[in-house]
Homo-oligomer: A and B are copies of this chain.
Amino acid sequence: MIFSLMAKDLDSKGKTLAAAADLFRRQGYFGTALQDILAAAGSPRGSLYFHFPDGKEQIGEAALKLAGDANARAIAQAAAASKNAEAFLLRLIRGMAAHLENTGFRDGCPIATTALETAVHSEALRGAARDAFQKWETEIRRGLERFAIAPEDAASIATCVLSQLEGALLLARTYRSLEPMQRAERVLTLLLRPRESKA
């Protein structure tokens, strides 16, 4: 059966992965011990090596991909549920702000911490982080194009939107305050204004 297979898969590998993604998001990559992941997932130590023969790095890669894909889907859904570009972007940032607040400022971006930690240490993890960010950018761009943003603008705006979101998340988490998130809304709005003739 499909369901039992999925359930089975999620009991062993998927559960570990979900726990890993969660912990990497909160504590970062180096700040999370494999022990923590196993304890959170309720998995024994040895089975980990079976599913992830390359060890922690492979878990990190898979966790980044998992979180990246989940977020990409969420972005696409936000676009589909919004009736204009501004609503779309505001939905994104407000969703993040709400999640941040709900977790007591513990759950920030699931990629950023690991990306920064491993930018120099591991090419594989940097690559996984890059893929995740790029997927997000792509989804934001697609969402914008949905609302008739000119394609030549959408890509550039998407990058700025993502930068702003990431920066605001970083500050909000560090300040333990939603103010950076709220102020960031202004930027999102400004970015959607028709670009003036550049002289």
Interface of A is mostly: helix
| Contact residues in B for A27 (Cβ distance below 8 Å) | 117, 120-121
CA distance in complex: A193, B30 (Å): 42
Q: Once the chains bind, are B166 and A183 in contact (CB under 8 Å)?
A: no
**A174 and B115 form a contact (CB under 8 A):** yes
Q: What 3 A-B pairs are tightest by C-beta distance, nearest first?
A: A163-B167, A167-B167, A30-B30
Residues of chain B lying within 8 A (CB to CB) of residue A118: 31
Number of interface residues of A (CB under 8 A): 47
B-contact bits for A164-193, CB 8 A (1 contact / 0 none): 111110110111100110011011001101
| Binary per-residue interface labels of chain A (105-121) against chain B in the complex, 1 for a CB within 8 Å, 0 otherwise | 11010001101111111
Say whether B174 contacts A160, CB under 8 Å: no
CA–CA, A118 and B170, complex, Å: 12
Each complex incorporates copies of this chain amounting to 4
Q: Which residues of B contact A186 (CB under 8 A)?
A: 156, 160, 191
A174 contact from B126, B168, B175, Cβ within 8 A: B126
The answer to whether the Cβ of A91 comes within 8 Å of any Cβ in the partner chain is no
**Chain B residues with CB below 8 A from A164, complex form:** 160, 163-164, 167, 187
A37 → chain B closest CB, angstroms: 15
Give the docked Cα–Cα distance between A83 and B150 (Å). Answer: 34
